[in-house]
Amino acid sequence: MRLTVSRLKIIFLGLFALACAGIWVHQIFWVWPKERCERAGGWWDGSERVCGQPIYIPDITGRREGESREDAALRRAAEQAAQERRARGE
């Protein structure tokens, strides 16, 4: 009986130690990087554990803030027509 109790004690202590180690691994490799990323203003992708930098869409498209695609196309067409008129001397 004494051997069984000692063996169970060691088994439960081992399981407890593994659970504690697992919790620390989860904190170190998943939780803390996510918190650092979000604190810095990034976007956290949990599936790949990558911190992404948000990109301002008007910087990519060249549109003004709040401008629709149609409005931007009309503005560009008007600018191009004005350039062509200036080139022809009108």
Question: Could you write out the DSSP letters of every residue in 38-86?
Answer: HHTT-EEETTTTEEEPP--HHHHH-PPTT--HHHHHHHHHHHHHHHHHH
pTM attached to this predicted model: 0.57
> What's the token pair of residue 42?
């990034």
pLDDT tier for residue 54 given thresholds of 50, 70 and 90: confident
Cβ atoms of residues 51 and 43 within 8 Å: yes
At 59 the pLDDT is 83
DSSP state letter for 4: H
Residue 90 confidence (pLDDT) above 80: no
pLDDT tier for residue 20 given thresholds of 50, 70 and 90: very high
